[in-house]
Amino acid sequence: MGRVVISENVSLDGVVQDPTGEEGFRHGGWFSQFGERDREAWVKVEFDEALRAEAMLLGRRSYEYFAARFRSRTGEWADRLASMPKYIVSSSRVDTDWGNSTVLEGDVVSEVAKLKQELDGEIVVYASRALVHTLMEHDLADELRLIVFPVVLGIGDRLFGETTDKKPVRLLDSGTVGDGLAYLTYGLL
């Protein structure tokens, strides 16, 4: 049985929009809000997570975004991401040229439920805001890992959607990444 782990970088007010400033959002680029030591620590957390993970689960836009940036990169982290099985939720055509990529074309909820049955270990979700909302709303996510950047934006698309019910979560761990980023992990089920 696979476990779906949502792993996200968020601002202190929960915004996930345009972290690198490439999409023209007025407050984009907040991701660079950290020093060199924090960046190294951040890379290590992300790399360790990728090593532990069994597979990646992404929305189409996030897949294309990461594929465009990692495909040509070399190094342990890029190699690991390239070789890891990747599942893409999309109803339209996707260029699956990042290696080991499979498109899930059917109903998201049943496809992800099936994937959880078939796989063992962690299925990590990066970015993919719309997919995250669906996973949360349908209780398909098992764990939430938030790296909280020390920045408040006031506006922007937020990680958490408008859920119909209050959703209690369970604190698993809290700490920091480097000195400047808070790291909070929650169990969802």
Partner 1 sequence: MQVTLDGYIVDATGAADWVDSWADGLELLPQVDTFVLGGGMFPDYERFWAAILDDPDAAAEWLGREPYPRELTYARVAAETPHLVLSTTLRHVTWPTARIVRHVDDLHVVKRQGGNAAYVVGGPGLLHSLVNFGLLDELRLIVHPVAVGAGTPLFGGVAERQAPELLRTEPARAGLVDLTHRR
Q: Which is nearer to partner 1, 23 or 76 (CB)?
A: 23
Q: How far apart are CA 64 and CA 157, in angstroms?
A: 19
Under rule CB under 8 A, residue 71 binds partner 1: no
- 37, 74, 157 from 181: Cα distances, Å: 11, 26, 20
Contacting partner 1 within 82-141 (CB under 8 A): 136
- 3-state class (DSSP) for residue 155: coil
Q: How far apart are CA 22 and CA 15, in angstroms?
A: 15
Among the candidate windows 43-51, 58-66, 92-100, 147-155, which touches partner 1 by CB under 8 A?
147-155
Using CB under 8 A, count the residues that bind partner 1.
37
Q: How would you classify residue 52: left for phi > 0, otherwise alpha for psi between -120 and 50, otherwise beta?
A: alpha
Binding mask 148-167 for partner 1 (x = CB under 8 A): x-xxxxx---xxxxxxxxxx
Structure tokens at 185: 């992990």
Q: Are 63 and 57 in contact (CB under 8 A)?
A: no
Under rule CB under 8 A, residue 37 binds partner 1: no
Which one of residues 104, 105, 116, 180 is an interface residue with partner 1 (CB under 8 A)?
A: 180
User: Would you tell me which residues interact with partner 1 (CB under 8 A)?
Assistant: 12-14, 27, 30, 33, 136, 148, 150-154, 158-171, 174-176, 179-184, 186
